[in-house]
Chain A
Amino acid sequence: MVEVSRHDIIIVGGGAAGLRAAIAAAEADPSASIALVSKVYPMRSHTVSAEGGAAGVAREDDNLEMHGQDTVKGSDFLGDQDVIQYFVEQAPKELALLENWGCPWSRNEDGSVATRAFGGMTVKRTWYAADKVGFHMLHTLFQHSMRFENIVRYDEYFVSKLLVEDGSCRGVAALDIRTGEMSAILGRAVILATGGAGKCFPFTTNGMIKTGDGMALAYRAGVPLKDMEFVQYHPTGLPGTGILITEATRGEGGHLKNSQGERFLVEYDYGVGQKAELGPRDMISRAIIREIEAGRGVSGSYGEHAHLDLTHLGEEKIMARLPMVRELCKIYVGVDPVSEPIPVRPVVHYMMGGVDTDIDAATTLPGLYAAGEVACVSLNGANRLGSNSLTECLVFGTKAGEKALEYARGAPAGSDDALRAQAEEESARIDALRGRKKGGEKIAAIRHEMNAAMEEGCGVFRHQDTMGAAVNTLVQLKGRVSDLRLEDDSKVFNTEVIAALELHNMLDVAESVAVSAHHRKESRGAHTCRDFEHRDDQNYLYHTLCYHDPSGPRLDKKEVTLGTWEPVERKY
């Protein structure tokens, strides 16, 4: 039996963007009821794993223009410049608010918030709380959200479908993981804040929960995914696990070295110039792979990698600024960065692409909003600068909360019965999937094959033929996934059926990535195609839109908003 509940706004996802949206809406209208639906308890959200910091102009030697310009250049001119301008204006205000709510930002001696250097940023503008910034931001937001009685949490509910009526989004069908029962959570507007989809790839900094759920929900509801080909490889992940070693290691003065002990970003020309280790992520990831290809990689039990050397920073600085990095290295690779270099290699970290939204966080489906990594508001373009994304969650989380509330005030509620009927249909679909013993395909097997195809086809360097092969593999896997075999027929906390739903989501998202990448015949930002080594503004200065279609993804174009900074060659 499907249970129906009603709210004004429904937020899907309890990470930084979702919590910030909830707080913004709850503050703006204490009488509005806000549902916060998340497949994990909010403090488990993957924001928790962000390490290095959040960008916002704070110092006297910095200004909004410079932050904007750095971001545009970092995006390889694919960022929308109106969005970037709005973002840099709001960033300091949002970060200060978080300070007011208790975030333990690291401090200068005068009691102001300290900032550190970060890749692709000309000035120290990254606010930090040692190297656990995401953790502290998430917990601050979650704890602050608890004071609002009008935020109603649905913890451990998995949203499997958007409920759309008369062309407007009016709720979600959510599976209560605890009971296995379907709920229809209805409202006048829905905000997606479910994060990225790193788990499409085998080697990623992302946690298990990052399966592109929100992207797939919107995609299947007819909303285009934008710029999906741009997948950020973070230069420094631990081999084997893919655990993130923050860019703050380089911001604090760490060096990248090859097997000869050379600082290869200084010794060879990789386009980062004087910035060296503080170059943008796409360029440094490419440099590491090129070093390995040139035979200057360091061999380890998980293949070739580079070295990240912090030994010259000294124990005191490492303990003050990078304590978690030290802890992670000791636990996961048995290396103490105080005395030894850290083995690192590029690792899938972030999706620049996502659900297409405008500057107001609104999607093309009335009543549906998106913010954070799930969305592509076009702040990051073809390559995101480190420490812009935590701030993005705040700036556009707030925007989504406010705009969704505004929209909800004028929108009709829709019919309970019609929406419940949709949820019941969804309930039946999941009942049929749960414990489906007649199938022949294993979840883990399809996941591994998808992972392998994505790594092969959509890595740091891409080729037309391997991208094409990835597309074909994904099409084939999408066929096979309809014949899954599930062993667990219990209703209570059945994580197998959730894994099956997540696998469906990942396949949809992975396909849109591969198809969009295969289409873009140039190299821009994180999309580096070896068959087309240069950026081609003549033919490809546009956003890729990818629409869901039963016969396969359909691509379209969207104009990039320029106007302030004209595209020039990207060189540091």
Chain B
Amino acid sequence: MGEPTKTFVITRFDPDKDEVPKTQEYEIPVEADWKVLDAINFIKDEVDPSISHRWSCRMAVCGSCGMMVDGEPKLTCKTALSDYGDRVTVEPLANFPIVRDLVTELEGFMEKFQRVKPWVIRAKEDAGAADSKPPMNDKGTFVQSPAELAEFKQFSMCINCMLCYAACPVVANEAEFLGPAAIALGHRYNLDSRDQGQDERNEIFRDEGTVFSCSFANECSEVCPKNVDPAAAVNQAKFGAVIDWATSLVLPRASAGRRGEQGGK
């Protein structure tokens, strides 16, 4: 008996040569403690160097190596090969245009990401004020209690691996949908005690194709490798957007709901 082997069925697509994606099979020897990524790297190094895939940190924090493994979105560097059978299917992330082999198009995501204004927005009148809210201490840092940090901390853990987009049934059917990670990020800044841009972001969240497109399938949270729970963020953002709208009816805003501004420029 030789060493154990597994067969990998890998999506191949080269836009210069292939009309549509096809699959290619590789039977390789595997080690007991390998992750799925180790097998793909072995194939790339020793069997077929023409396979293209993204990876880097191999410690589940850079977010590069998301792929579909036997039909489920997985971070391949933390997915144990021993959990799979003798035939393992590896495909590019679902719901993304395919650039080549296991490489997907990320530009659409980058646009959605930018749309939620993922940075601290400070109101103009508060910039540099001694009595800023929250107050600043003599070290030049805002005062933020551990409890205030805990309010948004979980939603700041997203590594942008995009597994949630590959799992989300709304992303699959509604191209405009901002999607789990982007909304979770916007919501993360809305919850940050240092941020004053909630009005702006809630306005974005009330637009079409944002929070109210979510049907709470909860798939994003099921597949998230970092336990960010984006479904919680999206549905909290729904509440936030509605309540913000309701209060704006009762208490009209000073500058038509645009309290925050693009500070820092």
Contact = CB atoms under 8 A, between A and B. Distances in A.
A263 to B, nearest CB: 27
B59 to A, nearest CB: 5
Interface stretch (B113-121, B170-178, B209-217): B113-121
Interface residues of A, number: 66
B243 interface: no
B140 A492 contact: no
Interface in B134-165: 134, 137, 139-146, 148-149, 152-153, 156-157, 159-160
Given A132-B61, A208-B58, A490 B14 contact: yes
A424 B159 CA distance: 37
Contact of A492 (B46, B55, B99, B144): B99
B33 interface: yes
Given A104-B156, A106-B149, A111-B137, A243 B58 contact: yes
Interface in A484-538: 486-488, 490-496, 499
A43 B59 contact: no
Contact of B143 (A48, A102, A111, A207): A111
Contacts of A492: 14-16, 99-100
Interface in B15-70: 15-17, 33, 44-46, 48-50, 52-64
Interface stretch (B83-91, B187-195, B198-206, B232-240): B187-195
Nearest to B153: A104
A136 B49 contact: no
A332 B139 contact: no
A45 to B, nearest CB: 8
B160 A43 contact: yes
B106 A41 contact: yes
Interface in A33-91: 40-41, 43-46, 48-49, 58
Given A46-B62, A96-B140, A102 B194 contact: yes
Given A135-B159, A491-B16, A492-B100, A102 B49 contact: no
Interface string A86-110: 0000001100110111101111111
A328 interface: yes
Given A43-B63, A495-B52, A496-B49, A112 B137 contact: yes
Contacts of B134: 111
Nearest to B156: A104
A102 B189 contact: yes
A390 to B, nearest CB: 15
B112 interface: no
Contact of A208 (B56, B103, B113): B56
A241 B59 contact: yes
A155 B109 CA distance: 13
A113 interface: yes
A481 to B, nearest CB: 15
B265 A109 contact: no
Contacts of A553: none
B139 A444 contact: no
A135 B189 contact: no
B78 interface: yes
A132 B61 CA distance: 9
A500 to B, nearest CB: 10
Given A49-B61, A496-B49, A99 B142 contact: yes
A492 B110 CA distance: 20
B2 interface: no
Contact of A487 (B50, B142, B194): B50
A147 interface: yes
Contacts of A139: 156
Contacts of B61: 48-49, 132, 135, 324
Contacts of A557: none
B184 to A, nearest CB: 12
Contact of B46 (A30, A93, A148, A444): A444
Interface string A129-156: 0001001100100011011100000010
B146 A107 contact: yes
Given A100-B141, A102-B189, A106-B149, A488 B58 contact: no
Q: What is the interface of chain B mostly: helix, strand, loop, or mixed?
A: loop
Contact of B141 (A96, A178, A243, A327): A96
B252 interface: no
B262 interface: yes
Interface string A312-334: 00000000000010011001100
B3 to A, nearest CB: 15
B115 to A, nearest CB: 10
B16 A44 contact: no
A173 interface: no
A143 B118 contact: yes
B57 A49 contact: yes
Interface string B78-107: 100000000000000000000111010010
Contact of B195 (A102, A328, A490): A102
B141 A99 contact: yes
Nearest to A241: B58
A97 B152 CA distance: 19
B264 interface: yes
Interface in A456-495: 486-488, 490-495
B265 A147 contact: yes
Given A102-B119, A178-B99, A444-B46, A493 B52 contact: yes
A41 B162 CA distance: 13
B49 A207 contact: no
27 contacts: A40-B54, A41-B110, A43-B62, A43-B160, A44-B54, A44-B57, A48-B159, A101-B119, A104-B156, A105-B141, A107-B146, A107-B149, A112-B139, A139-B156, A148-B265, A155-B110, A178-B99, A207-B56, A208-B55, A208-B57, A209-B56, A241-B59, A244-B59, A327-B60, A486-B49, A487-B49, A492-B15
Given A58-B139, A107-B149, A443-B49, 19 more contacts: A40-B54, A44-B62, A48-B159, A49-B59, A100-B120, A106-B146, A110-B143, A136-B156, A147-B117, A147-B265, A155-B106, A155-B110, A178-B99, A208-B57, A444-B46, A487-B50, A488-B52, A495-B44, A496-B49
Q: Top 9 closest A-B pairs, CB basis?
A: A111-B143, A488-B50, A96-B140, A444-B45, A207-B56, A493-B100, A207-B57, A143-B118, A102-B120
